[in-house]
Amino acid sequence: MFRVAFVIPTLDQSGAERQLSTLACGLPRDQVQARVFALDRGGCYEQTLQQAGIPVQILHKQGRFDLAAALRLRSALQTFQPDIIQSFLFSANTLIRLPGIAPASARLIVSERCVDSWKSPWQLWLDRRLSRRADCLTANSHSVAAFYRDLGVPAERITVIPNGTATPAATHSRQSARHALGLRNSAFVVGFTGRLAPQKRLHDLIWAFQLLHQVIEDSQLVLIGGGPDEPRLRQLLAGFDCSSKVVFAGHRSDAAQLLPALDAFVLPSEFEGMSNSLMEAMAAGIPCAASHIDANRELIRDGETGSLFPLGSGPEIARCLLRFQRNPERTARLASQAAEFVRNELSPEQMISRHLELYRRLLNR
């Protein structure tokens, strides 16, 4: 039996939080005692963890630098005395590597989830300075591993563990999912799920849909999620004649269960780590098209498990979608092969097993 402390900023409904919850809940209870520390606040996964019998402690961190919260974390970790501390996302990854926070005997793992080109110079500087203060950095894709290797993290301290995704529960039929989202049963429906953020380049998808609906009159676009880019996207749509066919569904806790409403899923992002929303759509058997970036190429093999298009090209997105609509047999084959790939290579069980192997390797040094 060994103890693992997980540290993360929040337990909101987002990708890193989902992976932490899946991992913590799936670790074998007869081998691992797990506890979760959320720096800022709880969230929807707090209840999931507690229902699984995993203690959660909220540290109520205020602002970017909160010495009191850091001391509370230090005290909590000293009390728990974990053998391994695994953190997720920048503020948690930074805090556990600061001198004096973690017990001296604990092995430290920082988990990076994205090609973090968004980070400011001071954040990248801090990552470099602290890079050797962790025993291991886990990356959820080879592109994330390459980013942090180039930043100065020693290659021998990086381990790639892809995300794990289960096939979404079939709580909705195509018809009931469309009814829940206010979509027509007859329409060719293109969709996106996730945060409406600039990195997702959803303006490219809207441009593509403006072209698509000229050819497929009975078509609709649904964006499931909320975020800072929504006002800009609505403003862009105001000048298009497809605006009445675009649905902003807002944040939905049941987003994965609504995937049967879609005829195609599109991810136009300029950078990713390993997209949970893309993996979920693939697992659900939805035909997927994604931007031709390194992280997406690790999931989509063009012409085998989906389609890739050049980053920033609305016309190429539209062509991908037209091919999906006009070649139903080929499209069904792509979707089936994508679901099989996720099921065989990216299951939650495989993700958990890879973490257990890493934990044992670190503890046996």
Domain positions in the chain:
2-164+347-363, 174-345
**Residue 108 contacts residue 98 (beta carbons within 8 Å):** no
Q: What is the pTM of this model?
A: 0.86
What is the spatial distance between Cα 139 and Cα 162, in angstroms, rounded to a whole number? 7
Fold match flag (2-164+347-363 vs 174-345): yes
Class of domain 2-164+347-363: alpha beta
Q: Residue with structure tokens 């709880």?
A: 42
What is the pLDDT, as a whole number, of residue 273? 86
Amino acid 365: pLDDT: 67
Pick out the chain residues at pLDDT < 70.
169-170, 365
pLDDT at residue number 186: 96
Residue given tokens 């470099």 in the structure block: 128
CATH of 174-345, one of 3.40.50.300, 3.40.50.280, 3.40.50.970, 3.40.50.2000: 3.40.50.2000
94 within 8 A of 70, measured Cβ to Cβ: no
